[in-house]
Amino acid sequence: MTAVSEQAFDPRIRNTVALAAILGLAFACLGVQGELEPPAPRPESERAGTEIVVCGAYYDIGTPVVLFSDEGGYDAYSETPRFEPAPIGEDGKPVLKKRYGERKNLPADVAQRVGAAGWTRQDLSQVVRQFVIHYDVCGTSRQCFKILQDKRNLSVHFMLDVDGTIYQTLDLKERAWHAGTANDFSIGIEVAHIGAYPAPGHPVMRSWYGEDEDGEYVVFPKWMPETGIRTPSFVARPAQAGLITGEIHGKPYWMHDYTKEQHEALARLTGALSRILPSIRLDVPRDATTGAPRTDALTGDELAAYSGVLGHLHVTSNKTDPGPALSWEELLRRARHHAAGL
C-alpha cells in the first residue's frame, strides 16, 4: 500500500476549511472527473488483489481488496449466517434469507436493457449517483459483517478495516440494504470505527483507546478474541492524535481519528468510483451560503437530486457517521488525485 504523507493529516490542513471549500467548489464546477474516461476493466486472470467488481468486471483501484468470492472474504450473497449456525425451519431445513435486493425505480430504458441482458457499467452509471460513507460502530470489519449478516440481515457493498483492507461483499449492481431511501441509487461503505459520541469522556471511547510510547492506539475488547485484521501484528493508531470535535445536526460530537491506512484506502476507492461511475461526483453536500460541507440531513427532494459523496448523516437526522474525524475536503483532494492517476 502506498504510504500516506503525514502532512495530509496535519491539523493545520484540517482547519483550512474556507480555502479547501473554495477549491472543492472550483473542481466541482470544472467537472474534473467528468472529463476522465472510465478505466478499462482487468481480465480475471490478471487480478492482483486490488480490484473491485462492477457488473461482473474487475477494476483496479490501487489498494488491497478482498472480494466476496475470495477465500476469507465476506459474502453477502450467502443466505445463511457467516459465524453462527443457520436457524432451522419447521421443515427441518436451514432458514434462508436474502440480505440484499434488486435496484428499483429505474429509468424505463435502463429497466428494459437490464431485464433483457443484465447490468452493464454504462447502465449502472445512469442509476448509481451517490457514495454513502458510514462508520460501523463495531471496530473491525469482521465484527461489522457478523452484525450485518448474522444479526440484522442487512448488507453494504464495502467494508474498510483498520489496516486499510477493503472488503467487497456484493457486486455494485446489487441494491445493498444500508441507507434506507438512498439504497436504490447509492453504494455504501462501512468504515471500521467505534464512532462519535456527545461527550469527550464517553466511556465507550475510553474503553477502546489506550496510549503507549508511540501514542494512541485501538484497544480491542476482551470479548473480541479474533479481530480478523489481515495485516499481521497491525497496531491501529489514529492518524491524528487527540480527540476531534465538530457539530453534526447542530450538536457537538467527539471521536478519535481513523487510521492513516483507512484515510488512504477510502480516498483511492472514492476516486476510483467516480471514474467507473461518473454520476458519483467528487463533491459533498455544501452550504449554499458558505460553501462548507453540510453537517445536517438533506431533505427528501435534495437527497433524490443529489449526485456525489455523502455521509449517513446527510441521509437521515438520526445518524452521525462518518463523524467529525473525516475531513471531507481532504478526502476529496486525495480522491481527485487518485482518480486522475487511474
Domain ranges of the chain: 6-341
Q: Quote the CA–CA distance of 287 and 303 in Å, as a whole number.
A: 14
Secondary structure class of 208 (helix, strand, coil): helix
- Is the separation of the CB atoms in 53 and 168 below 8 Å? yes
Q: Quote the CA–CA distance of 57 and 171 in Å, as a whole number.
A: 9
- Is the separation of the CB atoms in 119 and 127 below 8 Å? no
Residues whose CB is less than 8 angstroms from the CB of residue 26 and which lie 6 or more positions away in sequence, other chains included = none
- The pLDDT, as a whole number, for residue 21 is 41
Q: Please give the model's pTM, rounded to 2 decimal places.
A: 0.90
Q: Quote the CA–CA distance of 247 and 254 in Å, as a whole number.
A: 9
Q: Quote the CA–CA distance of 249 and 268 in Å, as a whole number.
A: 28
251 bridge partner residues: 248
CATH number of 6-341: 3.40.80.10
What's the residue count for the chain? 342
AA identity, residue 267? A
Which triple of cell numbers denotes residue 60? Answer: 483496479
Pairing of strands 65-67, 166-168: parallel
Residues whose CB is less than 8 angstroms from the CB of residue 37 and which lie 6 or more positions away in sequence, other chains included = 275
| Rg over CA atoms, the chain | 20
DSSP string covering 126-192, please? HH--EEEEEE-SSSSHHHHHIIIIIII----SEEE-TTS-EEE-S-TTSEESSSGGGGGGEEEEEE-
Render each residue's pLDDT in the chain as its tens digit; 342 residues.
Answer: 333 333 344 443 444 434 444 344 444 443 444 468 999 999 999 999 999 999 999 999 999 999 999 999 999 999 999 999 999 999 999 999 999 999 999 999 999 999 999 999 999 999 999 999 999 999 999 999 999 999 999 999 999 999 999 999 999 999 999 999 999 999 999 999 999 999 999 999 999 999 999 999 999 999 999 999 999 999 999 999 999 999 999 999 999 999 999 999 999 999 999 999 999 999 999 999 999 999 999 999 999 999 999 999 999 999 999 999 999 999 999 999 999 988
